[in-house]
Structure 1
Amino acid sequence: MRQAIAILDSGVGGLTVAKEVMRQLPQEEIVYFGDTDRAPYGPRATDEVLEFTEQIVSYLLHFKPKMIIIACNTATAIALQHIRSLVDIPVVGVVQPGARAAIKKTRNGSIGVIGTENTIRSGAYQHALQALNPHIRVVGLACPRLVPIVERRLYRTDEAKEAVSQSLQPLLNTTIDSLILGCTHYPFLSSAIAEVVGPRVSMISSADETAREVSAILHHRGQLARSGKIPIHRFFCSGDPNTFQAIAQEWLGEQIKVSPVFWQMTRLSGN
């Protein structure tokens, strides 16, 4: 039986990573969990994010995946190292790949990061970027209004454009030439974001670089799926499956089935 790649997110944002994994690794099967009932994670307490991430990983381990992708910047910033200490398969986050992509792209060494309150407060991107290049200048900005807009499927509305415009105003007088979309929900708003920051600023999504890292790790471990049968992807969410399915089908460009999950979650225990 083919082992899947497990992907988890606070909601639909991780679909941006799933889409890139499906593009770069078309033979791989994906099992995806979006915690739409408890999104967003950005304003939540650190211990809540840790607990929720553990619960979802515990659920996904029932599918015996060969790798876990934490496709949520908030959960990556708070829970990545903790989850790695609890499981015996590779766990990949989205912060380090995003930082590497931004380092490659910047011309003047000034990089902006937009994300949830928890992601920005953690300083995860600043630490990752300056570990790669200590001379990098980092401008972080929390944008708490944006995730709920995506989760409500309003990312093509005037409300979305207004929220993006108002949220990004503090960046307009800075010298940044690259902007990390430090939340996997934000690519849904990329057109509105690009319109606000203008053509001089390159937008960086971690999805492409994350998929490359996944490919490299699986290749090194001899676990890349071989060509053969068409992969079967499975999608689960903790909230309304209809909204999730509509967003997923629109973003991924294919028909999918989403299963709602209602269960008494349990936390992982250390090895």
Structure 2
Amino acid sequence: FEMVTHAAAAAVKATKNGRIGVIGTAATVESGSHKREILRLKPDAEVTACSCSLFVPLVEVGWYAADDIVVKETVKRYLKPIIEADCDTLILGCTHYPVLTGAVSSVLGDGVTLINPGVAVADAVSDFLALNALNTENGSAGNHEFYVTDKPYKFKSLAAVLLGEDINEDKVKQVELDSL
């Protein structure tokens, strides 16, 4: 299971006018992977992709409130091409971006469906587990372990924002990329 395929499928399913926006980091947008997958699923779609380089730093310093003037103006500036293209669906193509959902929604309005790739993948995994009778029977939430390349304390504070829960630092392990 990976993000692009499921996010694109959710966007294609959600769009009513065939105009789909994608926002992400420069590397994500330049890869063109979302656009290719959207066009594979819906060849007549119009895809507008924008790099939103300041979104990650905003989230990481805790600036994501929809009513914060810095956040709102930054979001408005980056989403101008999405608004001008009249996109009715927007893929939030970076793990940090769903934290800005309130600000993005306030700029774009209620007529734009926001696609959170994490939710799209979670839905696909849930469907797969149910289809293959692999769901847990005991109601257990399972074990969580997190492997990060940055300092565990940094992940712990960001995880509270991204995951909506406090993470026990014992569950966070720092690894080197070349060890994976």
Q: TM-score range by the shorter chain?
A: 0.7 to 0.9
Q: Does 1:98 align with 2:7?
A: yes
Equivalent residue pairs, number: 177
Cα drift, residue 206 of structure 1: 1.8
1: CA distance between counterparts of 2:173 and 2:144?
A: 16
- Equivalent positions of 1:79-228 (< 5 A) are 92-156=1-65, 157-220=68-131, 222-227=133-138
Between the two structures, name the one with larger relative contact order (CA 8 Å, sep ≥ 6).
1
Higher helix share: 2
Cα drift, residue 166 of structure 1: 1.7
2: CA distance between counterparts of 1:249 and 1:233?
A: 14
SS at match of 1:212: helix
2: CA distance between counterparts of 1:125 and 1:250?
A: 25
Cα drift, residue 238 of structure 1: 3.0
**Which of residues 145, 153, 163 is equivalent to 1:234?**
145
Cα drift, residue 114 of structure 1: 0.9
Code of the residue aligned with 1:105 in structure 2: it is A
Code of the residue aligned with 2:102 in structure 1: it is S
Distance change in 2, residues 1:235/1:191 (3 Å): same
Cα drift, residue 263 of structure 1: 4.5
TM-score, normalised with respect to structure 2: 0.83
Equivalent pair of 2:147/2:174 in contact (CA under 8 Å): no
Equivalent pair of 1:237/1:258 in contact (CA under 8 Å): no
SS at match of 2:178: coil
Once the two structures are superposed, what CA deviation does each residue of 1:2-56 show, in whole Å capped at 9, x if it has no partner?
xxxxxxxxxxxxxxxxxxxxxxxxxxxxxxxxxxxxxxxxxxxxxxxxxxxxxxx
Q: Does 1:266 align with 2:175?
A: no
Question: Which blocks of at least 5 consecutive residues in structure 1 are unaligned?
Answer: 1-91
Cα drift, residue 165 of structure 1: 1.8
1: CA distance between counterparts of 2:70 and 2:126?
A: 37
Distance change in 2, residues 1:113/1:242 (3 Å): same
Once the two structures are superposed, what CA deviation does each residue of 1:230-253 show, in whole Å capped at 9, x if it has no partner?
523223433343343233234544
Equivalent pair of 2:22/2:93 in contact (CA under 8 Å): yes
Distance change in 2, residues 1:237/1:179 (3 Å): same
Question: Which blocks of at least 5 consecutive residues in structure 2 are unaligned?
Answer: none
Distance change in 2, residues 1:251/1:171 (3 Å): closer
